Structure 1
Amino acid sequence: MHFSIPETESRSGDSGGSAYVAYNIHVNGVLHCRVRYSQLLGLHEQLRKEYGANVLPAFPPKKLFSLTPAEVEQRREQLEKYMQLVL
C-alpha cells in the first residue's frame, strides 16, 4: 500500500469560517480523501497514545500564521513523508 499527498487545495471554511488548506490523500494512486492539517494532527495524537511517542516519526509543526505557498508545499512534502513512514 502506498500513501501519497500529491496536491493541496485551498478551501473556504464551512458556514463562513476561515479558509484552509486541504491535503488530498491518495492510496495506491487513487484519491482516498481530503483532510485538514488538524485532522492529521488528531490522527498523530491518537497513534501516539496507542503506540507511544518513541515509535512515531516527528509530525510537521503547527504554524501560528497563514502559510505562504512555499510553506504549504513544504508541509505537504513533510506530511507525505510522515504518512509513508507511519505505514
Structure 2
Amino acid sequence: MAKVFFTANLRRHVDCASMEAEGATVRDVLAQVFRAQDRLGSYVLDDQGALRKHMTILVDGQRIRDLERLSDAVRPSSEIWVMQALSGG
C-alpha cells in the first residue's frame, strides 16, 4: 500500500494523520484517505475535484503533473506527500 503523509503546516489547519491506502493513481489513493478523513478532501481538492492552487502533491519525490484528474501513477511502495504550496520572494 502507498503511504500518504501530510506536512506539519497542513496539519495545523486540518487534522490529518498519515496513513496507508491502495490505488493505481493519486486520485484512487486519495479517495481512500478522504473517506477516512472527510474534512481533508475539501481542503485539498476544489469543487471540481482538481487540486487546489495552494496545494502540492509529490509522489516518490516528484511533483504530480496531472493537477486536474490526479491520474499520475502510484506504486504499492510509493510515498505520497500532500502539502500546502508556499510562495514568496
- Structure-1-length-normalised TM-score: 0.34
Higher helix share: 1
Larger radius of gyration: 1
- Structure-2-length-normalised TM-score: 0.34
